[in-house]
Amino acid sequence: VGRSPRGKAIDVTPEEFQAAWEINFLSAVRATRAAVASIRETKGSIVNISSLAGKSASRHLGAYPPAKFALSAWSQQLRLELDAEGIHVFLVCPGPIIREDAGERYDKEAADLPPEARQPGGGVKVGSIEPAWLAGQIVDGCEGRWSELVVPYRARFLFAIQQMWPWLGDWLLNRFSS
């Protein structure tokens, strides 16, 4: 479950932040808590689907990145706490996924924003991901008990740069956005 509303962060109301928080973060917390007893029995996997925005913010994504950052932190915390019980926690951070309405789904809510805000990824120049391919990667990640999957893979370099040199990461994001 997730929703990626558009808007300038400063213009997003607390109520809109709360709605993004509910659907993009707290829904995963609730689902995990409801299923953890069964997962403990099977030593299974918890898979949280985040976003590239769960690792790096981007312009015009409003309340989406803060909620997805929380999901990323929740996943890491679960990994640290549940690993000793044999529970696998897998965070998936994909870029835009190919869908029929990809070029127009944000037109109405982003009407007052620059044109790139209407694009998948909020205008960050990154290709869209084939859903079937991503599903296969998620299965592989569960079988291999990966910690994280970030696609496109090259985004990991940006995230590493942003952690070490935030100013350089911001410059790169601005440089490679529409």
- Give dist(CA 47, CA 84) in Å, integer: 17
pTM assigned to the model: 0.86
Q: What is the pLDDT of residue 115?
A: 63
Q: What is the pLDDT of residue 6?
A: 77
Please compute the mean of the pLDDT values over residues 73-78 and round it to a whole number.
98
Q: What is the pLDDT of residue 129?
A: 92
Token pair for residue 143?
A: 């079988």
Name the one residue in this structure whose structure tokens are 């590239």. Answer: 52
Contact indicator for 67, 74 with CB cutoff of 8 Å: no
Token pair for residue 84?
A: 């000793």
Sign of CA dihedral 134, 136, 138, 140: negative
Reported as a pLDDT band with limits 50, 70 and 90, residue 175 is: confident
| Percent of the chain whose predicted confidence (pLDDT) is above 90 | 61
Q: pLDDT of 2-53, one tens digit each?
A: 777 778 889 989 999 999 999 999 999 999 999 999 999 999 999 999 999 9
Note the helical H segments in 62-130.
64-82
106 is catalytic: no
Q: What is the pLDDT of residue 119?
A: 62
Active-site annotation holder among 53, 59, 64, 162? 64
Q: pLDDT of 118-174, one tens digit each?
A: 566 665 667 789 999 999 999 999 999 999 999 998 889 989 999 999 999 999 888
Q: What is the pLDDT of residue 117?
A: 60
Contact indicator for 63, 12 with CB cutoff of 8 Å: yes
